[in-house]
Structure 1
Amino acid sequence: MKISDLKSNFKKSLSELYPSEEVQSFFNILSEKYLNLSRIEIALNPERTISATEAEKFQKAILRLQNHEPIQYIIGETEFYGLPFKVNKHTLIPRPETEELVEWILSGFPPSGAKGILDIGTGSGCIAISLAKNLPNAKISALDISEEALKIAEANAKLNKVEVDFFQTDILAAETLPMKYDVIVSNPPYVRELEKKQMQQNVLKYEPHSALYVKDEDPLLFYRAISHLAKNHLNPSGKLFFEINEYLAYEMTELLKAEGFKNIEIKKDIYGKDRMLKCKI
Protein backbone atom coordinates (compact mmCIF):
# COMPACT_ATOMS: atom_id res chain seq x y z
CA MET A 1 0.00 0.00 0.00
CA LYS A 2 1.18 3.52 -0.81
CA ILE A 3 1.20 6.27 1.79
CA SER A 4 -1.29 8.26 -0.29
CA ASP A 5 -3.75 5.34 -0.19
CA LEU A 6 -3.18 4.85 3.53
CA LYS A 7 -3.89 8.51 4.18
CA SER A 8 -7.02 8.50 2.02
CA ASN A 9 -8.41 5.45 3.82
CA PHE A 10 -7.53 6.93 7.20
CA LYS A 11 -9.39 10.18 6.52
CA LYS A 12 -12.42 8.41 5.05
CA SER A 13 -12.67 6.10 8.06
CA LEU A 14 -12.71 8.95 10.58
CA SER A 15 -14.25 11.88 8.69
CA GLU A 16 -17.70 11.47 10.24
CA LEU A 17 -16.36 11.35 13.80
CA TYR A 18 -13.70 14.07 13.95
CA PRO A 19 -12.96 17.46 12.32
CA SER A 20 -10.62 17.20 9.32
CA GLU A 21 -7.84 19.07 11.14
CA GLU A 22 -7.96 16.59 14.02
CA VAL A 23 -7.91 13.62 11.65
CA GLN A 24 -4.85 15.09 9.95
CA SER A 25 -3.21 15.55 13.34
CA PHE A 26 -3.93 11.92 14.24
CA PHE A 27 -2.39 10.76 10.97
CA ASN A 28 0.73 12.85 11.54
CA ILE A 29 1.15 11.51 15.09
CA LEU A 30 0.72 7.90 14.00
CA SER A 31 3.05 8.35 11.02
CA GLU A 32 5.74 9.63 13.36
CA LYS A 33 5.17 6.71 15.72
CA TYR A 34 4.66 3.82 13.27
CA LEU A 35 6.60 4.95 10.19
CA ASN A 36 9.19 7.26 11.78
CA LEU A 37 8.21 9.86 9.19
CA SER A 38 7.53 13.55 9.84
CA ARG A 39 4.62 15.48 8.36
CA ILE A 40 6.96 16.98 5.75
CA GLU A 41 8.40 13.58 4.81
CA ILE A 42 4.89 12.21 4.35
CA ALA A 43 3.98 15.12 2.07
CA LEU A 44 7.14 14.70 -0.01
CA ASN A 45 6.84 10.91 -0.39
CA PRO A 46 3.16 10.08 -1.09
CA GLU A 47 4.11 7.18 -3.39
CA ARG A 48 6.28 5.46 -0.82
CA THR A 49 5.16 1.90 -0.13
CA ILE A 50 4.48 0.73 3.41
CA SER A 51 4.50 -2.85 4.66
CA ALA A 52 1.45 -4.92 5.53
CA THR A 53 2.52 -4.81 9.19
CA GLU A 54 2.64 -1.01 9.16
CA ALA A 55 -0.74 -0.82 7.44
CA GLU A 56 -2.21 -3.14 10.08
CA LYS A 57 -1.00 -0.84 12.87
CA PHE A 58 -2.90 2.04 11.29
CA GLN A 59 -6.01 -0.09 10.87
CA LYS A 60 -5.94 -1.05 14.54
CA ALA A 61 -5.49 2.63 15.48
CA ILE A 62 -8.48 3.55 13.29
CA LEU A 63 -10.68 1.06 15.15
CA ARG A 64 -9.61 2.49 18.50
CA LEU A 65 -10.16 6.06 17.32
CA GLN A 66 -13.61 5.10 16.02
CA ASN A 67 -14.33 4.02 19.57
CA HIS A 68 -13.19 7.45 20.82
CA GLU A 69 -10.04 6.22 22.53
CA PRO A 70 -7.58 9.10 23.09
CA ILE A 71 -4.66 9.16 20.65
CA GLN A 72 -2.29 9.48 23.63
CA TYR A 73 -3.38 6.08 24.95
CA ILE A 74 -3.11 4.54 21.50
CA ILE A 75 0.55 5.54 21.11
CA GLY A 76 1.22 5.29 24.86
CA GLU A 77 2.82 8.70 25.23
CA THR A 78 2.29 12.44 25.23
CA GLU A 79 4.20 15.68 25.85
CA PHE A 80 3.93 17.95 28.88
CA TYR A 81 5.93 21.10 29.57
CA GLY A 82 8.23 20.16 26.69
CA LEU A 83 9.00 16.73 28.13
CA PRO A 84 7.97 13.22 26.99
CA PHE A 85 5.62 11.20 29.21
CA LYS A 86 4.30 7.68 29.03
CA VAL A 87 0.56 7.38 29.72
CA ASN A 88 -1.95 4.56 29.95
CA LYS A 89 -5.46 3.86 31.23
CA HIS A 90 -4.24 4.21 34.83
CA THR A 91 -3.17 7.85 34.37
CA LEU A 92 -4.91 11.02 33.27
CA ILE A 93 -3.68 12.61 30.07
CA PRO A 94 -1.89 15.81 31.18
CA ARG A 95 -3.70 19.02 30.20
CA PRO A 96 -2.32 22.38 29.02
CA GLU A 97 -3.97 24.02 32.04
CA THR A 98 -1.77 21.93 34.31
CA GLU A 99 1.28 23.17 32.42
CA GLU A 100 0.17 26.65 33.47
CA LEU A 101 0.12 25.51 37.09
CA VAL A 102 3.70 24.26 36.76
CA GLU A 103 4.72 27.56 35.17
CA TRP A 104 3.11 29.51 38.02
CA ILE A 105 5.02 27.50 40.62
CA LEU A 106 8.32 27.91 38.76
CA SER A 107 7.80 31.66 38.31
CA GLY A 108 8.06 32.07 42.07
CA PHE A 109 11.37 30.31 42.49
CA PRO A 110 14.86 30.64 41.01
CA PRO A 111 16.46 27.32 40.00
CA SER A 112 18.18 27.23 43.39
CA GLY A 113 14.95 27.85 45.34
CA ALA A 114 12.20 25.62 46.82
CA LYS A 115 14.16 22.87 48.56
CA GLY A 116 11.25 20.58 49.38
CA ILE A 117 8.23 19.99 47.11
CA LEU A 118 5.38 17.48 47.41
CA ASP A 119 2.98 16.62 44.58
CA ILE A 120 -0.22 14.98 45.86
CA GLY A 121 -2.08 12.71 43.42
CA THR A 122 0.78 12.62 40.94
CA GLY A 123 -0.72 10.29 38.29
CA SER A 124 1.76 10.18 35.40
CA GLY A 125 4.15 12.28 37.47
CA CYS A 126 3.89 15.22 35.08
CA ILE A 127 3.90 17.98 37.71
CA ALA A 128 6.61 16.50 39.95
CA ILE A 129 8.89 15.56 37.06
CA SER A 130 8.53 18.93 35.31
CA LEU A 131 9.39 20.68 38.57
CA ALA A 132 12.35 18.35 39.15
CA LYS A 133 13.65 19.07 35.66
CA ASN A 134 13.53 22.82 36.26
CA LEU A 135 14.51 22.91 39.94
CA PRO A 136 17.54 20.59 40.01
CA ASN A 137 18.45 21.44 43.61
CA ALA A 138 15.01 20.67 45.02
CA LYS A 139 14.00 17.47 46.81
CA ILE A 140 10.81 16.43 45.00
CA SER A 141 8.38 13.89 46.40
CA ALA A 142 5.09 12.66 44.94
CA LEU A 143 2.32 10.40 46.12
CA ASP A 144 -0.66 8.62 44.64
CA ILE A 145 -3.18 6.04 45.79
CA SER A 146 -2.77 4.03 42.57
CA GLU A 147 0.08 1.53 42.42
CA GLU A 148 -0.30 1.30 38.64
CA ALA A 149 -0.08 5.07 38.23
CA LEU A 150 3.07 5.14 40.36
CA LYS A 151 4.71 2.57 38.07
CA ILE A 152 4.13 4.90 35.12
CA ALA A 153 5.35 7.91 37.11
CA GLU A 154 8.57 6.11 38.06
CA ALA A 155 9.12 5.15 34.41
CA ASN A 156 8.60 8.78 33.42
CA ALA A 157 11.14 9.99 35.96
CA LYS A 158 13.71 7.61 34.46
CA LEU A 159 12.73 8.69 30.95
CA ASN A 160 13.35 12.34 31.84
CA LYS A 161 16.46 11.61 33.93
CA VAL A 162 15.25 13.16 37.18
CA GLU A 163 14.98 11.93 40.75
CA VAL A 164 11.59 11.98 42.42
CA ASP A 165 10.68 10.12 45.60
CA PHE A 166 7.38 8.38 44.79
CA PHE A 167 5.28 6.70 47.46
CA GLN A 168 1.81 5.21 47.74
CA THR A 169 -0.68 6.89 50.07
CA ASP A 170 -4.42 7.42 50.31
CA ILE A 171 -4.49 11.12 51.05
CA LEU A 172 -8.03 10.87 52.43
CA ALA A 173 -6.81 8.46 55.11
CA ALA A 174 -3.43 10.07 55.81
CA GLU A 175 -2.92 11.68 59.21
CA THR A 176 0.57 13.03 58.54
CA LEU A 177 3.13 13.64 55.78
CA PRO A 178 6.83 12.64 55.78
CA MET A 179 8.28 16.13 56.33
CA LYS A 180 7.70 19.86 55.96
CA TYR A 181 7.80 21.39 52.48
CA ASP A 182 8.36 24.70 50.73
CA VAL A 183 5.66 23.80 48.20
CA ILE A 184 2.73 21.40 48.29
CA VAL A 185 0.88 21.09 45.00
CA SER A 186 -2.09 19.02 43.94
CA ASN A 187 -4.38 18.51 40.97
CA PRO A 188 -6.91 16.27 42.71
CA PRO A 189 -10.23 14.92 41.39
CA TYR A 190 -12.62 17.86 41.05
CA VAL A 191 -15.17 17.18 38.30
CA ARG A 192 -18.63 16.80 39.84
CA GLU A 193 -20.99 14.06 38.67
CA LEU A 194 -23.37 16.76 37.41
CA GLU A 195 -20.63 18.03 35.07
CA LYS A 196 -20.14 14.68 33.31
CA LYS A 197 -22.53 15.69 30.53
CA GLN A 198 -20.01 18.35 29.52
CA MET A 199 -17.20 15.82 29.10
CA GLN A 200 -16.05 14.37 25.79
CA GLN A 201 -16.58 10.67 25.07
CA ASN A 202 -12.85 9.98 25.02
CA VAL A 203 -12.59 11.25 28.61
CA LEU A 204 -15.75 9.56 29.88
CA LYS A 205 -14.93 6.17 28.41
CA TYR A 206 -11.18 5.91 28.94
CA GLU A 207 -9.60 8.20 31.52
CA PRO A 208 -9.53 6.86 35.11
CA HIS A 209 -12.69 7.99 36.90
CA SER A 210 -11.04 7.86 40.32
CA ALA A 211 -8.63 10.60 39.20
CA LEU A 212 -11.36 12.81 37.75
CA TYR A 213 -14.68 12.71 39.55
CA VAL A 214 -16.08 13.61 42.95
CA LYS A 215 -19.61 13.29 44.25
CA ASP A 216 -21.87 16.32 43.90
CA GLU A 217 -22.61 16.49 47.63
CA ASP A 218 -18.92 16.88 48.63
CA PRO A 219 -16.88 18.22 45.68
CA LEU A 220 -14.14 19.69 47.91
CA LEU A 221 -13.42 16.41 49.68
CA PHE A 222 -9.80 16.15 48.49
CA TYR A 223 -9.04 19.87 48.91
CA ARG A 224 -10.26 19.76 52.52
CA ALA A 225 -8.05 16.77 53.35
CA ILE A 226 -5.00 18.18 51.58
CA SER A 227 -5.26 21.69 53.03
CA HIS A 228 -5.77 20.26 56.54
CA LEU A 229 -2.53 18.29 56.19
CA ALA A 230 -0.70 21.09 54.40
CA LYS A 231 -1.15 23.65 57.18
CA ASN A 232 0.93 21.42 59.46
CA HIS A 233 3.48 20.40 56.83
CA LEU A 234 4.44 23.65 55.13
CA ASN A 235 7.52 25.60 56.16
CA PRO A 236 6.80 29.11 57.52
CA SER A 237 7.14 30.70 54.07
CA GLY A 238 5.76 27.66 52.22
CA LYS A 239 3.02 27.81 49.59
CA LEU A 240 0.10 25.57 48.70
CA PHE A 241 -0.90 25.32 45.03
CA PHE A 242 -4.04 23.71 43.59
CA GLU A 243 -5.64 23.14 40.24
CA ILE A 244 -9.35 23.74 40.89
CA ASN A 245 -12.84 23.38 39.48
CA GLU A 246 -13.65 26.59 37.61
CA TYR A 247 -17.11 26.76 39.25
CA LEU A 248 -15.89 26.43 42.84
CA ALA A 249 -13.31 29.19 43.28
CA TYR A 250 -15.38 31.00 45.92
CA GLU A 251 -16.00 27.80 47.88
CA MET A 252 -12.29 26.99 47.70
CA THR A 253 -11.38 30.41 49.06
CA GLU A 254 -13.77 30.01 51.99
CA LEU A 255 -12.46 26.53 52.76
CA LEU A 256 -8.86 27.73 52.86
CA LYS A 257 -9.74 30.74 55.01
CA ALA A 258 -11.39 28.38 57.47
CA GLU A 259 -8.20 26.28 57.56
CA GLY A 260 -6.13 29.36 58.39
CA PHE A 261 -4.57 30.12 55.02
CA LYS A 262 -4.00 33.67 53.78
CA ASN A 263 -2.83 35.51 50.64
CA ILE A 264 -5.26 33.35 48.67
CA GLU A 265 -4.88 34.05 44.96
CA ILE A 266 -7.00 32.68 42.11
CA LYS A 267 -5.47 32.56 38.62
CA LYS A 268 -7.31 32.10 35.34
CA ASP A 269 -6.12 29.65 32.69
CA ILE A 270 -5.62 30.37 28.98
CA TYR A 271 -9.36 29.88 28.46
CA GLY A 272 -10.26 32.56 31.02
CA LYS A 273 -11.49 30.05 33.62
CA ASP A 274 -10.66 30.15 37.33
CA ARG A 275 -8.28 27.19 37.29
CA MET A 276 -5.42 27.67 39.74
CA LEU A 277 -5.04 28.77 43.33
CA LYS A 278 -2.11 29.51 45.61
CA CYS A 279 -1.96 30.51 49.25
CA LYS A 280 0.23 30.32 52.32
CA ILE A 281 -0.29 29.56 55.97
Structure 2
Amino acid sequence: MKLKDYRTSFLEKLTPLYDAMEAESFFNIALEELKGWKRIDLAMNPDAVLKDDEIIQWNNVLEQLEKHKPIQYIFGRAHFYGLEFEVDENTLIPRPETEELVEWIIKENEYKGQIKILDIGTGSGCIAISLAKNLPDAEVFAIDVSEKALAVAKKNAGTNGVTVKFLLQDILEAVSLPDTFDIIVSNPPYVRELEKAEINPNVLEYEPHLALFVTDSDPLLFYRKIALLAKSGLTENGRLYFEINQYLGNETVEMLEEYKFSEVTLKKDIYGNDRMVSAIR
Protein backbone atom coordinates (compact mmCIF):
# COMPACT_ATOMS: atom_id res chain seq x y z
CA MET A 1 0.00 0.00 0.00
CA LYS A 2 1.21 3.48 -0.82
CA LEU A 3 1.84 5.65 2.21
CA LYS A 4 -0.30 8.46 0.78
CA ASP A 5 -3.23 6.03 0.46
CA TYR A 6 -2.72 4.82 4.02
CA ARG A 7 -2.77 8.46 5.13
CA THR A 8 -6.20 8.92 3.55
CA SER A 9 -7.54 5.84 5.34
CA PHE A 10 -5.88 6.88 8.63
CA LEU A 11 -7.55 10.30 8.57
CA GLU A 12 -10.94 8.89 7.54
CA LYS A 13 -10.95 6.57 10.55
CA LEU A 14 -9.92 9.27 13.03
CA THR A 15 -11.98 12.26 11.90
CA PRO A 16 -15.21 10.94 13.47
CA LEU A 17 -13.33 10.89 16.82
CA TYR A 18 -11.07 13.96 16.53
CA ASP A 19 -11.22 17.18 14.57
CA ALA A 20 -9.44 17.21 11.20
CA MET A 21 -6.45 19.26 12.36
CA GLU A 22 -5.82 17.00 15.33
CA ALA A 23 -6.08 13.86 13.20
CA GLU A 24 -3.62 15.40 10.74
CA SER A 25 -1.21 16.20 13.57
CA PHE A 26 -1.41 12.57 14.76
CA PHE A 27 -0.49 11.37 11.29
CA ASN A 28 2.47 13.74 11.12
CA ILE A 29 3.75 12.70 14.56
CA ALA A 30 3.45 9.02 13.62
CA LEU A 31 5.18 9.72 10.30
CA GLU A 32 8.17 11.16 12.13
CA GLU A 33 8.22 8.50 14.84
CA LEU A 34 7.73 5.46 12.60
CA LYS A 35 9.51 6.54 9.44
CA GLY A 36 11.68 9.47 10.47
CA TRP A 37 9.97 11.65 7.86
CA LYS A 38 8.60 15.17 7.90
CA ARG A 39 5.56 16.18 5.84
CA ILE A 40 7.85 17.49 3.11
CA ASP A 41 9.43 14.03 2.77
CA LEU A 42 6.05 12.49 1.96
CA ALA A 43 5.34 15.26 -0.55
CA MET A 44 8.71 14.59 -2.19
CA ASN A 45 8.08 10.83 -2.25
CA PRO A 46 4.41 10.49 -3.25
CA ASP A 47 4.81 6.88 -4.40
CA ALA A 48 6.47 5.60 -1.21
CA VAL A 49 5.17 2.13 -0.30
CA LEU A 50 4.61 0.74 3.18
CA LYS A 51 5.97 -2.75 3.78
CA ASP A 52 3.80 -5.30 5.58
CA ASP A 53 5.67 -4.90 8.88
CA GLU A 54 5.31 -1.10 8.62
CA ILE A 55 1.56 -1.42 8.07
CA ILE A 56 1.35 -3.49 11.27
CA GLN A 57 3.13 -0.69 13.18
CA TRP A 58 0.86 1.99 11.72
CA ASN A 59 -2.26 -0.08 12.45
CA ASN A 60 -1.16 -0.52 16.05
CA VAL A 61 -0.88 3.26 16.46
CA LEU A 62 -4.24 3.78 14.76
CA GLU A 63 -5.98 1.24 17.00
CA GLN A 64 -4.66 2.96 20.13
CA LEU A 65 -5.74 6.37 18.87
CA GLU A 66 -9.22 4.97 18.17
CA LYS A 67 -9.31 4.00 21.87
CA HIS A 68 -8.43 7.65 22.69
CA LYS A 69 -4.95 6.84 24.03
CA PRO A 70 -2.87 10.05 23.87
CA ILE A 71 -0.28 9.90 21.13
CA GLN A 72 2.34 11.10 23.61
CA TYR A 73 1.77 7.93 25.65
CA ILE A 74 1.82 5.76 22.52
CA PHE A 75 5.32 6.96 21.66
CA GLY A 76 6.38 7.75 25.24
CA ARG A 77 7.43 11.32 24.70
CA ALA A 78 6.17 14.88 24.49
CA HIS A 79 7.66 18.24 23.53
CA PHE A 80 7.55 21.18 25.90
CA TYR A 81 9.23 24.58 25.68
CA GLY A 82 11.61 23.36 22.97
CA LEU A 83 12.68 20.29 24.94
CA GLU A 84 11.74 16.61 24.73
CA PHE A 85 10.30 14.78 27.74
CA GLU A 86 9.59 11.15 28.42
CA VAL A 87 6.01 10.69 29.61
CA ASP A 88 3.97 7.72 30.76
CA GLU A 89 0.76 6.97 32.63
CA ASN A 90 2.35 8.26 35.87
CA THR A 91 2.85 11.78 34.50
CA LEU A 92 0.56 14.36 32.98
CA ILE A 93 1.20 15.27 29.36
CA PRO A 94 2.72 18.79 29.34
CA ARG A 95 0.29 21.43 28.07
CA PRO A 96 0.83 24.60 26.00
CA GLU A 97 -0.77 26.63 28.81
CA THR A 98 1.97 25.46 31.15
CA GLU A 99 4.55 26.64 28.63
CA GLU A 100 3.04 30.09 29.06
CA LEU A 101 3.59 29.86 32.81
CA VAL A 102 7.23 28.88 32.26
CA GLU A 103 7.66 31.76 29.79
CA TRP A 104 6.27 34.21 32.36
CA ILE A 105 8.68 33.02 35.05
CA ILE A 106 11.69 33.15 32.74
CA LYS A 107 10.91 36.67 31.49
CA GLU A 108 10.52 38.00 35.03
CA ASN A 109 13.63 36.32 36.41
CA GLU A 110 16.20 35.85 33.60
CA TYR A 111 18.48 38.62 34.88
CA LYS A 112 18.34 37.80 38.59
CA GLY A 113 21.36 35.48 38.58
CA GLN A 114 21.69 32.94 41.37
CA ILE A 115 18.18 32.25 42.56
CA LYS A 116 16.60 29.21 44.18
CA ILE A 117 13.45 27.70 42.66
CA LEU A 118 11.03 25.05 43.91
CA ASP A 119 8.53 23.26 41.64
CA ILE A 120 5.77 21.55 43.64
CA GLY A 121 4.05 18.59 41.95
CA THR A 122 6.65 18.26 39.22
CA GLY A 123 5.27 15.22 37.34
CA SER A 124 7.44 14.72 34.25
CA GLY A 125 9.65 17.56 35.47
CA CYS A 126 8.71 19.80 32.54
CA ILE A 127 8.48 23.03 34.57
CA ALA A 128 11.56 22.48 36.73
CA ILE A 129 13.72 21.22 33.86
CA SER A 130 12.66 24.01 31.48
CA LEU A 131 13.46 26.60 34.15
CA ALA A 132 16.83 24.98 34.90
CA LYS A 133 17.64 24.96 31.18
CA ASN A 134 16.71 28.59 30.62
CA LEU A 135 17.84 30.04 33.95
CA PRO A 136 21.28 28.37 34.15
CA ASP A 137 22.35 30.24 37.30
CA ALA A 138 19.30 29.02 39.22
CA GLU A 139 19.35 26.16 41.72
CA VAL A 140 16.20 24.15 41.06
CA PHE A 141 14.36 21.76 43.38
CA ALA A 142 11.28 19.69 42.53
CA ILE A 143 8.79 17.81 44.72
CA ASP A 144 6.28 15.11 43.86
CA VAL A 145 4.18 12.61 45.80
CA SER A 146 4.71 9.88 43.20
CA GLU A 147 7.93 7.85 43.18
CA LYS A 148 7.16 6.68 39.64
CA ALA A 149 6.70 10.25 38.41
CA LEU A 150 9.98 11.28 40.03
CA ALA A 151 11.78 8.41 38.29
CA VAL A 152 10.56 9.78 34.95
CA ALA A 153 11.47 13.36 35.92
CA LYS A 154 15.01 12.34 36.93
CA LYS A 155 15.49 10.64 33.58
CA ASN A 156 14.22 13.76 31.80
CA ALA A 157 16.65 15.98 33.69
CA GLY A 158 19.53 13.79 32.56
CA THR A 159 18.33 13.69 28.97
CA ASN A 160 18.07 17.47 28.87
CA GLY A 161 21.42 18.03 30.56
CA VAL A 162 20.31 19.89 33.69
CA THR A 163 20.65 19.40 37.42
CA VAL A 164 17.45 19.38 39.47
CA LYS A 165 17.22 18.18 43.08
CA PHE A 166 14.19 15.89 43.23
CA LEU A 167 12.40 15.16 46.51
CA LEU A 168 9.64 12.68 47.36
CA GLN A 169 7.05 14.55 49.43
CA ASP A 170 3.30 14.73 49.90
CA ILE A 171 2.90 18.49 50.03
CA LEU A 172 -0.39 18.19 51.92
CA GLU A 173 1.48 16.44 54.74
CA ALA A 174 4.43 18.85 54.80
CA VAL A 175 4.92 21.12 57.81
CA SER A 176 7.66 23.14 56.09
CA LEU A 177 9.57 23.33 52.84
CA PRO A 178 13.07 21.82 52.45
CA ASP A 179 14.74 25.25 52.09
CA THR A 180 13.98 28.91 51.50
CA PHE A 181 13.29 29.83 47.89
CA ASP A 182 13.17 32.92 45.70
CA ILE A 183 10.52 31.33 43.48
CA ILE A 184 7.91 28.68 44.21
CA VAL A 185 5.88 27.40 41.27
CA SER A 186 3.15 24.81 41.13
CA ASN A 187 0.67 23.34 38.69
CA PRO A 188 -1.26 21.31 41.27
CA PRO A 189 -4.44 19.24 40.81
CA TYR A 190 -7.27 21.69 40.14
CA VAL A 191 -9.99 20.01 38.06
CA ARG A 192 -13.19 19.60 40.10
CA GLU A 193 -15.21 16.41 39.89
CA LEU A 194 -18.12 18.43 38.48
CA GLU A 195 -15.91 19.35 35.50
CA LYS A 196 -15.30 15.75 34.44
CA ALA A 197 -18.00 16.05 31.80
CA GLU A 198 -15.82 18.64 30.03
CA ILE A 199 -12.75 16.40 29.97
CA ASN A 200 -11.89 14.56 26.76
CA PRO A 201 -11.72 10.74 26.96
CA ASN A 202 -8.01 10.73 26.10
CA VAL A 203 -7.37 12.69 29.33
CA LEU A 204 -10.04 11.12 31.53
CA GLU A 205 -9.21 7.51 30.69
CA TYR A 206 -5.42 7.66 30.54
CA GLU A 207 -3.84 10.55 32.47
CA PRO A 208 -3.21 10.16 36.24
CA HIS A 209 -6.22 11.29 38.25
CA LEU A 210 -3.94 11.92 41.24
CA ALA A 211 -2.43 14.84 39.32
CA LEU A 212 -5.72 16.12 37.90
CA PHE A 213 -8.66 16.11 40.27
CA VAL A 214 -9.73 17.73 43.52
CA THR A 215 -13.03 17.46 45.36
CA ASP A 216 -15.82 19.88 44.55
CA SER A 217 -16.03 20.84 48.22
CA ASP A 218 -12.41 22.07 48.48
CA PRO A 219 -11.02 22.92 45.03
CA LEU A 220 -8.32 25.26 46.39
CA LEU A 221 -6.93 22.67 48.80
CA PHE A 222 -3.46 22.53 47.24
CA TYR A 223 -3.27 26.28 46.63
CA ARG A 224 -4.03 27.11 50.26
CA LYS A 225 -1.50 24.60 51.55
CA ILE A 226 1.25 25.80 49.21
CA ALA A 227 0.49 29.45 49.98
CA LEU A 228 0.70 28.70 53.71
CA LEU A 229 4.07 26.98 53.28
CA ALA A 230 5.27 29.79 51.00
CA LYS A 231 4.70 32.39 53.72
CA SER A 232 7.77 31.01 55.51
CA GLY A 233 9.35 29.18 52.55
CA LEU A 234 9.80 32.21 50.29
CA THR A 235 12.53 34.79 50.73
CA GLU A 236 11.47 38.37 51.32
CA ASN A 237 10.02 39.63 48.03
CA GLY A 238 10.10 36.07 46.75
CA ARG A 239 7.44 35.22 44.19
CA LEU A 240 4.82 32.49 44.05
CA TYR A 241 3.48 31.29 40.68
CA PHE A 242 0.47 29.03 40.09
CA GLU A 243 -1.27 27.50 37.13
CA ILE A 244 -4.95 27.63 38.08
CA ASN A 245 -8.45 26.43 37.28
CA GLN A 246 -9.85 28.88 34.73
CA TYR A 247 -13.15 29.05 36.64
CA LEU A 248 -11.54 29.92 39.98
CA GLY A 249 -9.30 32.85 39.13
CA ASN A 250 -10.99 35.39 41.42
CA GLU A 251 -11.23 32.88 44.27
CA THR A 252 -7.51 32.11 43.98
CA VAL A 253 -6.62 35.80 43.99
CA GLU A 254 -8.81 36.42 47.05
CA MET A 255 -7.20 33.51 48.90
CA LEU A 256 -3.68 34.86 48.25
CA GLU A 257 -4.71 38.33 49.38
CA GLU A 258 -6.18 36.87 52.56
CA TYR A 259 -2.77 35.23 53.17
CA LYS A 260 -1.25 38.73 52.87
CA PHE A 261 0.58 38.24 49.59
CA SER A 262 1.08 41.44 47.62
CA GLU A 263 0.99 42.34 43.93
CA VAL A 264 -1.31 39.42 43.19
CA THR A 265 -1.56 39.21 39.40
CA LEU A 266 -4.09 37.14 37.46
CA LYS A 267 -3.09 36.35 33.88
CA LYS A 268 -4.97 34.84 30.94
CA ASP A 269 -3.65 32.17 28.59
CA ILE A 270 -3.63 32.38 24.79
CA TYR A 271 -7.22 31.11 24.75
CA GLY A 272 -8.43 33.98 26.93
CA ASN A 273 -8.94 31.86 30.05
CA ASP A 274 -7.77 32.85 33.55
CA ARG A 275 -4.84 30.43 33.84
CA MET A 276 -1.96 31.84 35.91
CA VAL A 277 -1.46 33.78 39.11
CA SER A 278 1.66 35.30 40.64
CA ALA A 279 2.11 36.94 44.02
CA ILE A 280 4.91 38.38 46.16
CA ARG A 281 5.63 37.53 49.77
1:260 aligned partner: 260
Q: What is the SS of the residue equivalent to 2:166?
A: strand
- d(CA) in 1 for partners of 2:166, 2:68: 32
Given the alignment of the two structures, is residue 274 of structure 1 paired with residue 245 of structure 2, yes or no?
no
- d(CA) in 1 for partners of 2:108, 2:196: 34
Q: How many residues align?
A: 281
CA RMSD for the aligned pairs? Answer: 1.3
User: By how many angstroms is 1:103 displaced?
Assistant: 0.9
Moved over 4 A (4+): none
Aligned pairs for 1:1-281 (under 5 A) are: 1-113=1-113, 115-281=115-281
Q: What is the SS of the residue equivalent to 2:236?
A: strand
- d(CA) in 2 for partners of 1:155, 1:165: 12
Q: What is the SS of the residue equivalent to 2:102?
A: helix
Please list the CA deviations of residues 200-255 of structure 1 after superposition, one character each: whole Å capped at 9, or x if unmatched.
11111111111011000000110111111111011112100001111112211222
3-12 or 231-240: which moved more?
Answer: 3-12
Change (3 A) 1:273 1:20: closer
User: By how many angstroms is 1:79 displaced?
Assistant: 0.9
What's the TM-score once normalised by structure 1's chain length?
A: 0.96
Identity of aligned residues (%): 53
- d(CA) in 2 for partners of 1:155, 1:52: 34
User: By how many angstroms is 1:51 displaced?
Assistant: 2.6
Q: What is the SS of the residue equivalent to 2:246?
A: coil
- d(CA) in 2 for partners of 1:53, 1:88: 25
> Contact between 1:111 and 1:137, CA under 8 Å: does it hold in 2?
no
Please list the CA deviations of residues 139-196 of structure 1 after superposition, one character each: whole Å capped at 9, or x if unmatched.
0000100111111111111111111111110000011111100000000000111111
Aligned AA (1:163): T
- d(CA) in 1 for partners of 2:106, 2:21: 33
Aligned AA (1:172): L
- d(CA) in 2 for partners of 1:279, 1:207: 29
Aligned AA (1:147): E
Unaligned runs of at least 5 residues, structure 2: none
Change (3 A) 1:114 1:96: farther
Unaligned runs of at least 5 residues, structure 1: none
> Contact between 1:111 and 1:136, CA under 8 Å: does it hold in 2?
no
Aligned AA (2:91): T
> Contact between 1:119 and 1:127, CA under 8 Å: does it hold in 2?
yes
- d(CA) in 1 for partners of 2:101, 2:200: 23
User: By how many angstroms is 1:114 displaced?
Assistant: 5.1
Change (3 A) 1:114 1:278: farther
User: By how many angstroms is 1:112 displaced?
Assistant: 4.8
Aligned AA (1:120): I
Q: What is the SS of the residue equivalent to 1:142?
A: strand
